Amino acid sequence: MIEFLVLGPLECRSANHPVNVTGTLQRALLATLLAAEGIPVSVDSLVAELWGDSPPPHWENALQAHISRLRRRIDAVAGDRSTRLIVEHSGYRLQTEDGTVDAKVFMRKLDNARLLGTTDPGTAADVLRDALSLWRGKAFGLVAQGSLCRTVAQRYETARVVALETLFDLQLRGGRHTDIIPMLSELVEAPTLNERFCEQLMIALYRSGQQARALASYFRMRDRLDDELGVEPTITLRNLFNAILNHHPALRLGADHAVLRA
């Protein structure tokens, strides 16, 4: 059985040992087939992913050679015959066993945690921490990416942000506000300008008795939004700022801070 890891640098493992897939085009081919998540990828799409608008003169032979080489590499280590690079009339498909692609495992855990969030927040938080531990860096790492890989990588990255936001909300509800301040402080300073993280940081700081820092976080986000994007904070973030100034009851420990987003 082979495991495929895409939530970070592209890796393959068999029995916890690395499976070397070398060469830029070989790795791009594997990344594309994994990004398709078991759906056949047409020849035209593969050519576009590997070479963009400038395929080589004999691209048909080149593509077939890369596919054959990757298939041999996979077949050599898939002793249980569970993983296959399959040719279909609509293109090529990489068949993987359940639980062997980290991105699929992550997405399944995220869905499960979101269902558990209202009935069993403690378990939901544990599931989210387990899911987030699968991440080792940017999705697909440094593999040269075509449009399909870029689109899927962005979907995974967005899902990771959702997982973090959901986990922080659960931890705020569970009274673990001090635990999340360091990570939220780092995330709020990231280039992405995520206002939801700023909201959560402000609440965590307020509940930790650090009202001045909570307000300073708002001013810092407001200034960055103005300098970098030329926009004001969302109404939600502005309302939270006013709620902190007025000591809104929803900010108290044990209260439901989610009402501030309504």
Which CATH number fits the domain that encloses residue 67?
1.10.10.10
Examine residue 117 and state whether it is found in any structural domain, yes or no.
no
Examine residue 34 and state whether it is found in any structural domain, yes or no.
yes
pLDDT of residue 19: 81
Instruction: Tell me the average confidence (pLDDT) per consecutive run of 10 residues in the chain, 262 residues long.
Output: 91 81 89 94 93 90 93 78 78 91 97 91 95 95 81 95 96 93 96 96 97 98 96 96 95 87 74
Examine residue 169 and state whether it is found in any structural domain, yes or no.
no
pLDDT of residue 100: 92
Q: Which of 95, 129, 158 is the last residue of a domain?
A: 95
CA distance 212 to 141: 39
The CA distances from residue 260 to 241, 244, 255, in Å, are: 10, 11, 11
Q: Give me the domain span that covers residue 256.
A: 175-262
CATH code where residue 224 lies: 1.25.40.10
How many CB atoms lie under 10 A from the CB of residue 209? 10
Domain count, the chain: 2
pLDDT of residue 169: 94
pLDDT of residue 81: 60
Q: Which of 42, 68, 95 is the last residue of a domain?
A: 95
Examine residue 132 and state whether it is found in any structural domain, yes or no.
no
Q: Which of 31, 60, 95 is the last residue of a domain?
A: 95
Examine residue 107 and state whether it is found in any structural domain, yes or no.
no
Examine residue 106 and state whether it is found in any structural domain, yes or no.
no
